[in-house]
Amino acid sequence: MEHYIVSARKYRPSTFASVVGQPALTSTLKNAIASDRLAHAYLFCGSRGVGKTSCARIFAKTINCENPGPDGEACNCCNSCNDFNEGRSLNIVELDAASHNGVDDIRAMIEQVQLPPTQGRYRVFIIDEVHMLSNQAFNAFLKTLEEPPSYVIFILATTEKHKVIPTILSRCQIYDFNRITIRDMVDHMSYVAKQEGITADPAALAVIASKADGAMRDALSIFDQVAASSRGNITYQSAIDNLNVLDHAYYKKLIDAFLANDVPQALVIYKQIRDKGFDSQFFVNGLALYIRDIMLAASPHTLPLLEVPDQLKTEMAEIASRCKPEFLYKAMDLCNTTDLNYRQAANKQFLVELMLIKLCQPLSPSQSDSGDGEGQLKPIAAFSSNQAPNQAVTYQQTEAVQATAQTVAEPAARPEPTPAVTGRLRLPTPGLSLRKTAHVETETVTAAEPHEIRSTPYTDDAVINFWHSYMQSHSTAHLLVNIMRNCQPERIDGDRFRVAVENDIQISLVNDNLGNIVTYMRNSLVNDNFSLEVALKDGPSSPKTWTEREVLAHMRRTNPQFDAFVDDFNMTLL
């Protein structure tokens, strides 16, 4: 049976030319080698998976090659190159400071530094994640870094340049690696697919690339996964299914709904997205990015900035042609505000729905067929070129109207060629009037009937019991139930409870369902004062997270028995 090699390893670059996405940097390195102007220490900076270690290895191989080509590349066939390519060269020593950051590790390496090469010209020492060296290790290393033997070259690499101390920075030639663009990653994956006899839709590769977030190595390992599960035929559908990515078709349908002022449709699409198990905040951010891309697609100047396959570009340019810039700015602003308010919102689904309703609004007031009494948002129609200002103003009495009225008093100059789809919104002062409009709307939507606040007493055990019954009645929400099973609410004080979870992802998942959970608990406990917050387990203490000491102090304050217990045993709380 054929031995399976992961693509990231199999297609690891072996020449500078095959390094993906760093052409300027690799050609500088090649020139330095060709003209024999080598520094004794280099610092390679950049996020993970951008080719730092690959470049360091190629560099080490090239400066030791017996027959370097005229292009400055290693020949890849001399003895030295073979040793390098087969991983048995003694002229390359790698130290991973992330796992070996102690003074003993550095001392062992310094001993190695003293040994001259038995063949070839240089010995190259690569220290990965150099910022993680302990102080002691670093001090032991500094002298060697300052005056290494002539045959030694250090290549230090880091993902966090700002953590590298100035004493190191000043002794190194610094190379900053770019994040790899989606286009470069797609091109490289297309190449790999071709070599492997795999068919791959560029749109699917773009999804993989954006998931990899600038790291080629990650892109290739995701590529392997998707290729394996889609049996060598990577389609857009197989990629988004595998990677749990929301199909951009949903965003497109939403934009159509916004432009058509179709609130029910927008809410239905949002429901479909939730039903597919997508987190609402993730959705809001995805929508924001999509709208941002539409904005880029609107102008030939910014179109090249769009990192999507050509087919999608055409589609986005078409959508952009139907959107007013004011609408796009406002839409991004609304998404951003929703994102910022998300964690605090007691009812997250409502927050997102409100955002969608607002997104359906800006284009809603009819411009040409005005006067049909479409309700509260009429003042925006006042900006329309063919409508008398007074007519609109009568619909609203907020101060915004005074502002709009003044603006409208200016003669409306431009005629609107296609009133049906595009230009329903003409906003000389878009921020002002829209904000006021939104304000009015918010009041309307949030105005709730006052009702009696239930305050039946309950025990901690009751809270735990209902916590479990919530899990039972939502057993299909596997992720949520798994998280809930591993934590349970603890009383902070009064009706305030808290659950501590493992990480940010769990926080956002629980937060996403917090509205439902709290409503369930309140109804079950028949107490509307019950509240629940989500915090990180053992995380860095945030304002909401108490230290153990605070918790104990609080327990003493609120629990006389515990206080007496501590006193009885003469315990000291540290």
> Residues 63 to 102: which contact Zn ion by CB under 5 A?
65, 74-75, 78, 81
For Zn ion, the closer CB: 65 or 434: 65
Q: Write out the two tokens for 337.
A: 């505000």
Q: Using CA atoms, how far apart are residues 537 and 498, in angstroms rounded to an integer? A: 11
**345-404: contacts with Zn ion (CB under 5 A):** none
> What is the rounded distance in angstroms from the CA atom of residue 7 to the CA atom of residue 573?
55
Distance CA 239, CA 207 (A): 7
What is the C-alpha to C-alpha distance for residues 113 and 132, in angstroms, rounded to an integer? 20
Extended strands (E) in 61-185: 92-96, 123-128, 152-158, 173-176
Nearer to Zn ion, 58 or 381 (CB): 58
End-to-end Cα separation, the chain, in angstroms: 61
> Can residue 501 be called a binding residue for Zn ion (CB under 5 A)?
no
* Candidate ranges 59-67, 306-314, 319-327, 457-465; the one touching Zn ion (CB under 5 A): 59-67
Name the minimum Å distance from CB 291 to Zn ion.
52
Which of 74/180 has CB closer to Zn ion?
74
Span 235-294, contacts to Zn ion by CB under 5 A? none
Strand runs (DSSP E) across 76-209, as ranges?
A: 92-96, 123-128, 152-158, 173-176, 199-200
- What's the farthest any 2 CA atoms get from each other in the chain? 92
Q: Which residue has the tokens 């206080």?
A: 563
CB of 308 to Zn ion, least distance (A): 40
**3-class secondary-structure state, position 137:** helix
Q: Minimum CB separation from Zn ion for residue 82, in Å?
A: 8
Shortest approach of Zn ion to residue 66 CB, angstroms?
Answer: 5
Least CB distance to Zn ion at residue 255 (A): 55
Q: Interior CA angle at 188 toward 182 and 191, to 5°? A: 140
Residue 56 or 65: the one with the smaller Cβ distance to Zn ion is 65
Q: How far, CA to CA in Å, does 422 sit from each of 314, 321, 324? A: 18, 8, 7
Residue found by looking up tokens 């789809």 in the block = 421
**Residue with Cβ nearer Zn ion (15 or 404):** 15
Q: Which of 78/245 has CB closer to Zn ion? A: 78
Say what the alpha-carbon torsion angle 281, 283, 287, 289 is, to the nearest 10 degrees: 70
Q: How far is CA 288 from the centre of its chain?
A: 12
Q: How many residues bind Zn ion (CB under 5 A)?
A: 5
Q: Helices H, strands E: what count in the chain? A: 25, 10
Q: How far is the CB of 60 from Zn ion (least distance, A)?
A: 12
Q: Percentages helix, strand, coil for the chain, rounded to the nearest 5?
A: 55, 10, 35
Smallest separation, CB 277 to Zn ion (Å)? 52
Q: For Zn ion, give the closer residue by CB, 81 or 186.
A: 81
Residue number, 66 or 315, with CB nearest to Zn ion: 66
Q: How far is the CB of 117 from Zn ion (least distance, A)?
A: 15
Nearer CB in complex with Zn ion: 18/545: 18
From CA 426, how far away is CA 412, in angstroms rounded?
10
Least CB distance to Zn ion at residue 67 (A): 5
Tell me how far, at minimum, the Cβ of 83 lies from Zn ion, in Å.
10
CB closer to Zn ion, 67 vs 482: 67
Residues binding Zn ion (CB under 5 A): 65, 74-75, 78, 81
